[in-house]
A = this chain, B = another copy of it.
């Protein structure tokens, strides 16, 4: 039995309304039209208070992050986002927090032209589950499994900012005042690379979004594609905030291992490099080549210039498999 139903009160008919939504919030389920020739792409992510965002994060930022991490998964498949379902568990009805959450949701649904089509509200510890759906033309979805030896490895944006932002907010790092807002936004309101994702269809051979850190997410591609990789740590892209806050070795550590950046990591064959430059020239989304796929199974080598860099040199005792 539902304890309360706030979806209609706070979220119905707010934000972007799409013509492919036949029935939205307010019946037992939503009824939707999927365009002919398109595949449906579906992802679900849950954020828990104190685990996936710091306790006492404002509602607006929580909504923003909950939507962004899901749109980022769609972007990593090359999909264009369309619809969101929301399950919101809250300990009590805090209208102020809910209004902030509703506003954050509305801003993102407006910006990305997606519509909230339904959901559930329950009383419980604060957590948010979003299911996001989108479309990709048939047989054009980007996956983790298509990388080939010789392909170049790219990332969008800059790396490590969310990790630095978390350390800043939790008092472990001191950062110049002029960078604080930027870093806190990189942590709380990541930018899903939706446009870049759709542009990479038929250009990238594999793609993933960086949620757990470059090394961990690259390993998913290596495993799925049955290949190895070389990463040039001297090519990793850093923000001005990162460069001002820490020495290069530490910036590399953030980039390689801290999560929550939600940049895209993808591979491009030599013959598609010019198409990539052309496609991205029409957008403002920067990309950087950071290495190359090699043969062999699931080995990851780090280099600075031509010199091999050991994980231990970067300060790690152990590193996974």
With A and B bound together, what is the CA distance between A87 and B70 in angstroms? 13
A30 within 8 A of B: yes
Enumerate 22 A-B pairs (CB-CB under 8 Å) in ascending A order: A1-B213, A1-B259, A3-B51, A23-B143, A28-B77, A28-B207, A29-B42, A29-B43, A29-B73, A30-B42, A31-B39, A31-B141, A32-B40, A32-B41, A33-B39, A34-B34, A44-B85, A44-B86, A44-B118, A44-B129, A127-B127, A131-B131
Whether, in the assembled complex, A79 has its beta carbon less than 8 Å from a beta carbon of chain B, the answer is: yes
| Interface residues on chain A, number (Cβ under 8 Å) | 63
Once the chains bind, are A85 and B29 in contact (CB under 8 Å)? no
Contacts of A122 on B, CB cut-off 8 Å?
46, 48, 51-52, 127
In the complex, what's the smallest C-beta–C-beta distance from A284 to chain B, in angstroms?
23
A108-135 interface with B by 8 A CB criterion? 117-120, 122-125, 127, 129, 131, 133
Q: Do the beta carbons of B44 and A87 come within 8 Å of each other?
A: yes
Q: Is A186 at the interface (CB under 8 A from chain B)?
A: no
Q: Are B89 and A48 in contact (CB under 8 A)?
A: yes
Return the contact of A40 from the options B31, B52, B118, B207 (Cβ within 8 A). Answer: B31
A259 → chain B, closest Cβ, in Å? 4
Q: Does A285 contact B (CB under 8 A)?
A: no
Q: Quick check: is A36 within 8 A (CB to CB) of the other chain?
A: yes
B85 with A131: CB separation less than 8 A: yes
Complex Cα spacing A117 to B122, Å: 24
**Bound complex: CA A36 to CA B27 (Å):** 24
- Is A67 part of the binding interface, using a Cβ–Cβ cutoff of 8 Å? no
Q: Whole-angstrom distance between the alpha carbons of A254 and B52 in the complex?
A: 41
A42→B3 contact, CB < 8 A: no
Give the residues in chain B near A32, CB-CB below 8 Å. Answer: 39-42
CB-based contact A29/B76 at 8 Å: yes
Which residues of chain B come closer than 8 Å to A131, judged between CB atoms?
42, 44, 85, 131
Q: Is the CB of A36 within 8 A of B36?
A: yes
List, in ascending order, chain B residues with CB within 8 A of A1's CB: 52, 211-213, 259-260
Question: Are B73 and A28 in touch, CB under 8 angstroms?
Answer: yes
Nearest first, the 4 closest Cβ-Cβ pairs linking A and B are A1-B259, A29-B43, A28-B76, A131-B131
